[in-house]
Amino acid sequence: MTAVTALTDRTDDRWDDGLIARRIALGGEDEEDDDTDDELVRALSGTVSGAGSDGGKTPAPPPLSPEARALRTRLDALRQLIGLSRTRLDGTTLAEAGRILDEAAARRGLSAQHTVVAIAGATGSGKSTLFNSLAGVQISETGLRRPTTAAPIACTWTDGAAGLLDRLEIPGRLRRRPREGSVAAESLQGVVLVDLPDLDSAVREHRAHVDRVLALVDAVVWVVDPEKYADAVLHERYLRPLAGHAEVTFVVLNQVDRLPGDAADQVLDDLRRLLDEDGMALGEHGEPGATVLGLSALTGEGVGELRELLGQFAHERGAATRRISADVDRAAGRLRPLYVAERHAGAEIGEAVRTEFEDRLAEAVGAYAAGLAAERAWRRNAGKACGTPWLRLWRWYENRRSPRGLSGLAALAAIGGRTFGGDPEPPPEAEVTARQRVEQAVRTVAEEASAGLPEPWAQAVRETAVRGADQLPEALDELAVTAGVPTGKPPRPAWWPAAVLTQASMTLLQIFGGLWLVAQIAGLLEPGLLPPVLLMVAGIVGGPLVEWTCSMAARGPARRYGQDAERRLRQAAAGCGRARVLEPVAAELLRYREVREQYATVAAGGNRLSTTRQ
C-alpha cells in the first residue's frame, strides 16, 4: 500500500479530517508517527546504530542532525498536507508528493551505510568507460556500437547493498563485486555505482530504465563530452528539472585529453554557464551545489579526484537525506500555485462582510417591515384600549361594511411584508425579489471570502457557500412565520388601566349629562341647561383628549416594541445565515489556513541547513 493510499484510508470525507482532527487527539497515533519519522530520517542520514557487542543490545541512537530533523518535519508536514488536500485536489496533482513519501519510506528500510550513485550520459559520452575507470576493472561493456549499455549495471565493494539493488530492479547477473585491495575498493567504501543506458538512446526501453533509476538513486554523475555538453535533451529534460538537486549532482566533462591548450578550461566555463542558466547552483568557494570537473576516462586524468570526491561524499552519509529534501523542494515548487496566491489572502470572513450579509438577510426576510407592523399593532391596541367607544364603534362599522379579508396582527403582518410565503401569500414578484436578495448576499460572501485564494480553494469556498444557501430561502420563509410579527396582544404598560378608567369616566360624563338634559326636556327635572351641557362638553372634549394623550404616550413603547420585534427577526435570520453559510465557509477557510501552514513547512527547503562538501 502506498503512502497516499494509507493516508486516504486513515481519513474520511469530512471537512475536519487531516491536521484539524488530529490536533485534538492526544497520544496514540501521533506518537507512533513521530517515532516512525525519527527512524526514517535516521535511516536516511545514516545515524541508525547497529547492534553492539554488549549482549546484542542496540545502543540508543545519537541525536538527529539539524538537516535530518528538518527533513523529518518537512515529511510530516507533507503527509499532513496530503491528508488535508485530498478532498480538494485530484489524485494526479498529489501523485508526486505521494511518490516522495513512498520513496522516503522505502529508503528507510534499506542500508544507510551505502550511497547509490548513478553514472548517466548521452551516447558516446564515455560514461561506461568512466564507470570502468572508477571501478578499476572492466565491468561495463564499451565499444563503438550504439547503444552499448542496454540495462543498468551495478558495482559495489561492501556487503549490505542487496536491498538497494533490488529496489533499482537490477538483476543478480548485472551486479558486480570487484576484488578487494584495489584503489577503488579503498576509496569507494559504501558507494554503489550504477552505469545507466544512454539517456538519448533510440530504444525506448533504455530511456525508461534511465528515468526509473534516476528517480531512486541518491546522487548522479552526469558525463558529458566536448561535442554534446550543450545537448538540449540533457539540459531540458534532465538538468533543468533537477536543478534543485545540485547538492547530489556531479557534472564531469569527459575526453578533455582531446582538447588542446586551454580549450578544456573554456569548455568547462561554458558548461558552468549553461548549468547556471538551468538554475543549478554550483558548489564553488565552499558553497553547497553541483560539482563540476574535467577528466579523461581513457587516460585516467582527473578520475582519481572524482573517485576521492565520491568516497568522501559517501562517507558523509547524507546523500539520501539531501536527495529526499531536494525531491520535497521540487514537489513544493510544483504545488505552490495550488496553495499560495499571487496576492495576499486574509483567509477569513471580515466583520464588514458578515454585517453586510446579515443586513441583506434581514432585508430579505422583511425584518424592518415586521418591526413597523409590530409597532402599528401596539399603537392600534393602545387606540382600542384608550380610544372613545364611539370611535371604536365607528371603526367596527367600517370594517364590517368593507371587509378586507384580514384584520389585526395578520393584516399587519401582511403589511409588514412577509417576503417568502406563509399566510397570507405574498405577490410572486415579492418572493422572487427576496430570493434574489438571498442569492446576491451569498454570492457576495463567497466572492469576498474566496478573494485572493488559490483557485482550488476559492472554488471549494464558493461551492460550500452555494451548498449552504440551497435551502436558505425556505428556512427564512419559516422564520418569517415563526419569528416575524409577535402573535397575541402586545403587553400593556402600567398606565393603561388609569387611561382606560379616565376614558370610561369621560364616557360616563357624556351619558350622565345627556340623561340629565333629556330628563329636563321631559319635565322630569327642573330646567337648568348649563350643568348637563357642561358635563356633556367635558366628556365629549375629554374623551378625544385622553385618546390623543394616550397615543402620544404610546409612541415610545410602541417604537421599542417594534424595534424588539425587528431585532428578534433580524437575529433569527442572521443565526440561520451563520449556521448555513458563514460557519461552513469559515470552516473551509480554516482548512485552507491549516493547509497553508503545512505547505509553508514543506516549502521551507530554502532555509534548511545543508552539509557542505569539502
Fold adopted by 113-316: Rossmann fold (3.40.50)
Give, in order, the Cα–Cα distances in Å from 517 to each of 145, 524, 528: 142, 10, 8
The answer to whether 174 touches 232, Cβ cutoff 8 Å, is no
According to the model, what pLDDT value does residue 346 have? Answer: 55
Q: Which three cell numbers stand for residue 437?
A: 436578495
Q: Which three cell numbers stand for residue 206?
A: 533504455
pTM over 0.75: no
According to the model, what pLDDT value does residue 108 have? Answer: 80
For 459, phi then psi, to 5°, come to: -65, -40
According to the model, what pLDDT value does residue 19 have? Answer: 38
The C-alpha R_g of the chain, in whole angstroms, comes to 43
- Could you say which DSSP state residue 285 is in? T
Q: What is the tens place of the pLDDT at every residue in 483-534?
A: 655 556 666 666 667 777 777 777 788 788 888 878 877 878 777 778 878 8
According to the model, what pLDDT value does residue 30 have? Answer: 44
According to the model, what pLDDT value does residue 153 have? Answer: 93
According to the model, what pLDDT value does residue 347 have? Answer: 62
| Residue segments in the chain with a per-residue pLDDT below the cut of 70 | 1-64, 140-148, 181, 342-347, 383-388, 391-392, 395, 398-399, 402-432, 481-496, 605-614
According to the model, what pLDDT value does residue 377 have? Answer: 75
The answer to whether 306 touches 582, Cβ cutoff 8 Å, is no
Single out the residue of 292, 321, 317, 342 nearest to residue 458, CA to CA: 342
Between CA 461 and CA 453 the distance in angstroms is 9
Q: Which three cell numbers stand for residue 269?
A: 566555463
Other Cβ atoms within 10 Å of 290 Cβ, number:
24
Helix axes 472-482, 428-450, angle to 10 degrees: 120
Range(s) within the chain of domains with CATH label 3.40.50.300 = 113-316
Between CA 168 and CA 393 the distance in angstroms is 102
Q: What is the tens place of the pLDDT at every residue in 54-86?
A: 444 444 555 667 787 888 899 999 999 998 888
In this structure, the chain runs to a length of 614
